[in-house]
Structure 1
Amino acid sequence: MPRIPAVKTADAGFLLKLFYKFAGKRFGAVPEPMAVVAHHPGLFKANGLHELLVEKASKSVPSNVRELAVYRVATQLGCSWCIDFGTMLQLHDGLDIDRLKNIDDYAKSPAFTDQERLALAYADAMTASPVTVTDGQVAELEREFGRKGVIELTYQIALENSRARMNSALGIAAQGFTSGDACRVPLP
């Protein structure tokens, strides 16, 4: 249970109820982090718009690479909600979620491509405290994904660091979007 409870539908205004309906249709449930942030309407609106714009703009890096990097941040920071939701998103994108069990061995596992390994190592370096990203790492990513791709990957990893840290601070845990290997939320 989160440290600050979610805004209940009965207590929501018209726009929040509309969002809850949209989120319920899209994800099968209202994402609890958004329902908690709804206590601050201005940040709720800003966050919702930001997430939609980031999703729409993130098309330079292959989705498997991007989603794995974001998932890696969630595992490194121990955000069970992010792991749960991220697994569901990968499943809905048609990605292989069985290999997520081997994420800690990505450097040696044949389940991951060279592109994915580069992005996963970058996610580790960006998530470390202090950050351990090197010039060589960025140069290699630029050769693989171009400048636009490096910016996109960096932005996505930084955003997931923010999400995971906020969810952890507020005590927001796995919501049940997935159950083991099977997704509880039906494919869209």
Structure 2
Amino acid sequence: MTRVVGVSAGRAGVVGRLVYRFAAKRFGVVPEPLAVMMHHRGLAVTGGVHELMAERASKTLPKSVRELAVYRTAVRLGCEWCIDFGTMLQRLSGLDVDRLREIDDYATSPKYTDKERLAIAYADAMTATPVQVTDEQVAELVAVFGERGMVELTYQIALENMRARTNSALGIAEQGFSSGDACRVPLTPGRE
């Protein structure tokens, strides 16, 4: 159970209800982090706009590389909600979610490509405390993904660090996005 109860639609105000409607249409339900963040509407709106802009701008990397690095960050930080939501996002993108069971063995699992392994290892290095990124690692990522791709990867991993740490601190647990009957999200985003 969350440490702070989310704001109901009735208390969310006009803008909040519009945001909730948009989120529910896109994801099937209002994401719990959004409902909790609505206690500070300015930050909730800022976060939502930021998420949409970051999503739209992040088109350089292959989706599997980006999503696996973000997912790995959630796993490393133990954010139940992020793992749940990330699994759903990968499923909606048509990615193989069965291989997520082997994420801890990514370095040796044949289910991951060399590019994916590089990105996941970078997520591990960025998420460690203190950060353990090396010059050699960055040079290898630039050689494979280019400077633009490497910056995108860095940004997305850092963004997931913020999400996962926020959700964990607020006690936001999984919401059922990726689990059997509890999954209320359609295969086609935006379909109700």
Q: TM-score, normalised by structure 2?
A: 0.95
Alignment of 1:24-173 (within 5 A): 24-173=24-173
Query: Aligned partners of 2:60 and 2:12: how far apart in 1?
Result: 37
SS at 1:39 equivalent: coil
Pairs aligned (count): 188
Contact 2:123/2:157, CA 8 A, preserved across alignment: yes
C-alpha change, 1:180 and 1:124, in structure 2 (3 Å) is: farther
Percent sequence identity is 67
Moved over 6 A (4+): none
1: CA distance, partners of 2:59 / 2:76: 24
Report if aligned partners of 1:91, 1:183 keep a CA contact under 8 Å in 2. Answer: no
Q: Could you list the runs of 5+ residues in structure 2 that have no partner in the other structure?
A: none
Distance in 2 separating the partners of 1:107 and 1:66: 17
State the distance in 1 between where 2:11 and 2:181 align.
35
Unpaired segments ≥5 residues, structure 1? none
TM-score, scaled relative to structure 1 = 0.97
**Mapped partners of 1:99, 1:183: distance in 2:** 19
Post-superposition offset of 1:181: 10
Indicate conservation of the 8 Å contact 2:6/2:32, yes or no. yes
Residue 184 of structure 1, CA deviation: 3.9
SS of structure 1 residue aligned to 2:43: helix
**C-alpha distance in 2 between matches for 1:181 and 1:72:** 25
Specify the SS of the correspondent of 2:110. coil
The 8 Å contact of residues 97 and 181 in structure 1, kept in 2 or not, is answered as no
